[in-house]
A and B are shown apart, each in its own frame.
Chain A
Amino acid sequence: MDRSVARFAAARLASGWKAGSGGRAGPLRLADIEPPSPPGPGWQVVRPRLAGICGSDLATVDGRSSRWFEPLVSFPFVPGHEVVGDAADGRRVVIEPVLHCRVRGIDPPCPPCEAGQTNHCERLVGGHLQPGLQTGYCADTGGGWSLALVAHSLQLHEVPDGWSDEAAVMIEPTACAVHGALAAPPGGSGEELLAVVIGAGTLGLATIAAIHRLRPDVTALLSVAKHPEQRRLATTLGATAVVEPDELRRAVRRVSGSWILDNGQLTGGAAVVFDCVGSGESIAGALAVTAPGGTVVLLGMPGHVGIDLTGLWQREIRLSGTYAYGPEPAAGGRHSFDLAAEVVEAAGLERLVSATYSLDRYGDAIEHAAAAGRRGAVKVAFDLRQEKRR
């Protein structure tokens, strides 16, 4: 991925016509480059086996990422942060991609990193690495869409024996879902707690699975899904009801016992809404169905959005961003990755890996991932296991 304003503009233009077109028209290219070298002690080479394509990757490839990230990445970089691979020390590992103080060699670490909250790291541009908030956005580390990257031992989580690569590659996105699922305040003992998950792509479905396993206080879980396969999966993963986007308000009303006013707004709503899309429309939709005093958790990466926040103000709704993973206070301090592994195994999330591509078909892979829901797919990944040059 090169820093080319012209290519980013071309990607943005092309993706406006068809999502995922930026893969061919934009700054992404397939190239033979020197593999990265370990930048310091504790680092080793990891050879990816599977590497997923994430929504944030698609936004970047299509030239639609927020400029917020500009100082937090370094070019050229190799994308790919959902990775299962073979480490040089012989272990099969998944990578926890956040490039925080400790892997950057910063000592003493920043206060959040000192507290273990590496996703809040304040030194993402410091230390012995070039800027980069994660592996897959840093010029020094490489990324999963390649035959080799480098990772610090603190980033590696060993994959248990008997696990498929497909299950392992789902751990990172599921860890994001776990972090989001646990971010909303718990319901009171014996009380009804209605939660809504907007979006039924990888993140949405993994969030449903995480809530189902980790949030017994949620008594009703509504999923918003556009496509038939998404609806089927949402149901099997634990949603108590699945609705289409334009049915959401009425569905929330039915479960919450709310009323609907003449302009369509609810008088009550769901205590917690998880937005796994991140568009202006989805955030507005989330706010519209959140009860007074409720919480909207943003899991999907938003960009510039325009929404009316009057309801948020009048109803004292909390809008809470969640990013990456870390120790989870709501789960006794256990790490999101450990909890995610449990969720992946319990819910059989390897089935969400719908299609894999070789690197030389990266254009097809990006287009497939961008149209995954419509095409009956969920997670699209690159399969590096058969690459001749590996």
Chain B
Amino acid sequence: MPRPGFVLEVDRSTPSILTWHGEGFRLERLPPGRSRVIYAPEPLEPLDDPDDAVRDALLHPLGDCPPLPELLFAGMRLTIAFDDISLPLPPMQRPDNRQRVIEGVLDLAAAAGVDDVVLICALALHRRMTEAELRHAIGDRVYDAFAPHGTLLQHDAEDPSGLVYLGQTDQGEDVEINKRAAESDLLVYVNINLVAMDGGHKSVATGLASYRSLRHHHNVKTMRHSRSFMDQEHSELHSSNWRMGRLIAASGVKVFQIETTLNNDTFPEQMSFLQRREWEWTARDRATYLATTRGLAMTTPRLARSIFQSIKSPHSMTGVHAGEVEAVHAATTARVYRQQLVDVDGQTDIAVFGLPHLCPYNVNSIMNPILVMCMGLGYLFNMYRGRPLVRQGGVAILSHPTPWAFHPVHHPSYIDFFEEVLPATTDPIEIEKTYEERFATDEWYRHLYRTSHAYHGVHPFYMWYWGAHALEHLGRVIIVGGDPKAVRRLGFSPASTLTDALEMATDTVGRDPSITHLHCPPIMIADVH
């Protein structure tokens, strides 16, 4: 029976706490008597037979939806869309959930005599996946059956002939999505729900949408009114996607949603100390920690990045639900919450977030300074339900090397955003008003997004907006161990050590502040009462 999440009150006997720091980690002591550490629940038990569970879900759908075989017929146009490289984190060991589900769907389609099947990677404005990444996600058998015939596609949000405009929601939001998906007799969406924000109507309304459509919810106003992204009842991002999803359904697009959940078994056995509570570390864990940190200290950043990016997570499937979108998502969300929610009593003056090497947008890539901001203030800050973990006017301390480094192929517009936009302003509203449209319509970025492996020109803006709620809420942001020049460019304060950062934070929150360290990963959501 896995243990639930846990909040540790730090006292004099508490050992040093493992704090992530990019491609590495540190052991940090927190002040006793006023510090606490939030630990994630232990991994839920995986499904005994995931393939059987997938078949069962397809045959016994949730909500007002017939079993999948009843929706399949010879001569139909079937489109299977699936989540892209941003999920899960880290990428999971084979077979990926997407492979299991797609193979299950294809078996039924073949039995029904369906031969017009197209697979679409629902990447929205993310970068196109490489062949190796696609093979990892959907499996070699599926890849080899579709890719050579041109029926394995990657959504192109900038292809006018590949999009269809479905209309406006009652809030005036344009809905424009992938034409093949919209005009199919059935659209099957294959999702991985790593966090509560994923899935539901967001799968199609975001994953298969155009910039014209996405800008209605990927903007500063929506982000500031999503409190948090992980709490559907209080997320404007969620509400906007739901309005769009309902319009998509009303337009006649038939969606069969399949959502899978994972446990938070994040690291392979040789790195399992990373998800153990420090006072339970064995002698082997301590030795592994020492060997790892000393080894990393002797490697180049490039090699360290390569080592960490090669980690494949032993995540296991804990659930699979299929059928009508909203019914499926309700069941999925309940399961995600069961894995990730941790009861936390009250807010804190200072939140400490150790940032790992990875966020959704730098798989096989570099965690550039903009992604550091997004990971810290967009994701970790928003891992709450109820109230933010840190109080209004409080301080967020991020720990990350924050190198002045960018992946030139994946993040070309990020470099320009960092060079042109941030020196002028870090105010999300001003950034959105002054710069977004030019970046979003830049022909070169558009070309690279469509033909190379580049994120869309507007993507760094979305990363910045992702942290807009935190920027408005916090009194100060301090980054420990970052490149000072890069940290200042972000508008934050650099600190050499956590001790220095805590001292600096007292200027904002006063003496003897309360401190809370979110011990993430593994992923968790603080349910703040």
Contact = CB atoms under 8 A, between A and B. Distances in A.
Contacts of A253: 444
B17 interface: no
A113 interface: no
A350 to B, nearest CB: 28
Interface string A219-262: 00000000000000000000001010001001101100111100
Interface of A: 241, 243, 247, 250-251, 253-254, 257-260
Interface in B429-483: 438, 442-444, 447
Given A253-B444, A257-B443, 14 more contacts: A241-B420, A243-B419, A243-B420, A247-B419, A250-B419, A251-B419, A251-B420, A254-B420, A254-B442, A257-B444, A258-B444, A259-B447, A260-B412, A260-B444
B415 A250 contact: yes
10 contacts: A247-B419, A251-B420, A254-B416, A254-B420, A254-B438, A254-B442, A257-B442, A257-B443, A257-B444, A260-B444
A243 B419 CA distance: 8
A250 B416 contact: yes
Contacts of A251: 419-420
Nearest to B447: A259
A196 to B, nearest CB: 15
A241 B434 CA distance: 14
A359 to B, nearest CB: 40
A11 to B, nearest CB: 35
A323 B419 CA distance: 34
A258 B420 CA distance: 16
Q: Of residues B415, B419, B443, B447, which shows the largest number of chain A Cβ atoms within 10 Å of its Cβ?
A: B419
Chain B residues touching A, range? 10 to 19
Interface string B416-428: 1001100000000
Nearest to A257: B443
A259 B415 contact: no
4 smallest CB-CB distances across A and B, nearest first, come from: A259-B444, A247-B419, A250-B416, A254-B416
Contacts of A257: 442-444
A77 B444 CA distance: 55
Contacts of B442: 254, 257
Contacts of B420: 241, 243, 251, 254
Contacts of A247: 419
Nearest to A258: B444
A39 B415 CA distance: 61
A257 B416 CA distance: 13
Nearest to A254: B416
B443 to A, nearest CB: 6
A257 B447 CA distance: 12
A254 B444 CA distance: 9
Q: Of residues B415, B442, B444, B447, which shows the largest number of chain A Cβ atoms within 10 Å of its Cβ?
A: B444
Contact of A259 (B416, B419, B443): B443
Nearest to A253: B444
A241 B419 CA distance: 11
A215 to B, nearest CB: 23
A254 B415 CA distance: 11
